[in-house]
Amino acid sequence: MDLRIESLNPLFNPGQIAVIGATPDLTRIGGRPIMYLLEAGYQGGIHPVNPKYDHISGLPCYAKVSDVPGEVDLAVIALPGPLVRPAIEDCAAKGVSAAIIFSAGFAETGEAGARAEKDIVDLARSHGMRVLGPNCLGMFNVSRDIYTTFSIGIQTGRPKKGRLGFVTQSGAFGSHVFSLAREQQVGLSYWMATGNEADVDVADCIAFLASDPGTDVIACYIEGCKDGEKLLAAFEAARANRKPVIMLKVGRTEAGRRAALSHTAALVGDDEVYQAVFRQKGVYRARTIEEFMDVASACTLLPFPQGDRIAVFTVSGGVGILMADQIAENGLHLPETPQEVQKRLLEVLPFAAVENPIDVTGQIVNQPTLLRDFMDIVLGSGAFDMSVSFLAHGGLSVPVMENQLAELGKVRAKHPRAPFIMSTLVTPETKRMISEAGFAAVEDPSRAVTIISALYYFKRSFDDAGRPDR
């Protein structure tokens, strides 16, 4: 592991955590990390630091971090801005390896704040201490039940454990995304909010996740970048480890760039340069939160297609045409079904339209195994690499979806290298069923095409880089 990446271990995998500015009011910024760590069942040490108290939540509370017995890996600093430097001095004297600074009022406020921020980080660096923030919402390591954040989103439920690592320069945006992930049953490995990036930045976090064996997919929100070469190296590290990076980069317009500067003191730069870098390094750029979540989730569930040939199964000829247009616009190939395959399909359903798109018609109501049979024949022919299906309102019925998921599970078992996405209306219950079965499903067929196109984008990127596919 690169030494710079290794230095992030105490930050993202701490064994002993001090909370400086801790308070017994667990709804306040200095109380929430303690509450979240205790509720999650974190197995490491939790050390509140505040000279006003002897105990907080049943834990001994210390006047200074230097009073904490034993080593401290990570200090979470929840103090007003002017008190941050003395806290860092105390951390340095203690030999603390990393700090998360929640406090705002630094570089994002102007020149004086920037000078104060640089002074703090220079002090930390002189003692080998890594810093996340300031002006940040912290991080969580979901696999180890570490929640060093004050996000109120955790109060309504922790995220599911999984293999998607998320990095954000905006804490509130990040809270929104992890709440979406929780509701959509998308499992997270890490969640990292970098704030002003006085030390640890998005590139560091991407590189860390690229080397993390518990992370398969990386999703990022960025407003700008302070070190382009480091970001390029991080993207390349992710691609070298066959980990897709999904990026939501804002600040495309002048208005957006001004807003980004006032938000986290980011250097936003020319959007065309970012776009060129993303293409060069195989980073997928999402334009909306919906697309961002769709693609990230699908990458955790599905294999990458082996080629660009797609089969479309539909219960609506009109939707088949809609998807055909979008498939062409996304650069995928919609080949005609081979004649021998068409013949076999017509033996199953003589009145089906089988050229591709393949219209299974409403007969699927009478023959619940029809989609399975058609997909098995088509994917087994070797003429297609992936498929999408449109099931209209089929997902509104629990019995229908139970049957379809059981049958589609058989198709997946026989053709594990061919990704498949369904488009259907869902209820909360059927949405949960689909998620628990490990399938990707969206309500809009256009989204299904976008998602599967993104999977092929990553396949081509890995091939172009000379990397074997997953």
Map out the domains of the chain as residue ranges. Answer: 3-299, 303-451
d(CA 76, CA 56): 15
pLDDT of residue 265: 47
Residue 261 has pLDDT above 80, yes or no: no
Give residue-wise pLDDT tens across range 53-91: 999 999 999 999 999 999 999 999 999 999 999 999 999
Q: State the pLDDT at residue 465.
A: 82
Residue 126 predicted with pLDDT over 70: yes
Does 303-451 match 3-299 at the fold level?
A: yes
DSSP conformational letter for 156? G
pLDDT band at 269 (very low <50, low <70, confident <90, very high): low
- How many other CB atoms sit within 10 Å of the CB of residue 406? 13
Q: Is the pLDDT of residue 276 over 50?
A: yes
Is pLDDT at 408 greater than 50 in this prediction? yes
> pLDDT value at position 271?
87
Per-residue pLDDT averaged across 251-260, rounded?
A: 59
Q: Which CATH superfamily is domain 3-299 in?
A: Succinyl-CoA synthetase domains (3.40.50.261)
- In which element (H, E) is residue 26 found? none
Q: What is the pTM of this model?
A: 0.94
Check whether domain 303-451 has CATH 1.20.120.1200, yes or no: no
Q: Which of 316, 329, 292, 307 is nearest to 389 (CA)?
A: 316
Residue-wise DSSP of 338-373: PHHHHHHHHHH-TT-B-SSSEE--GGGGT-TTHHHH
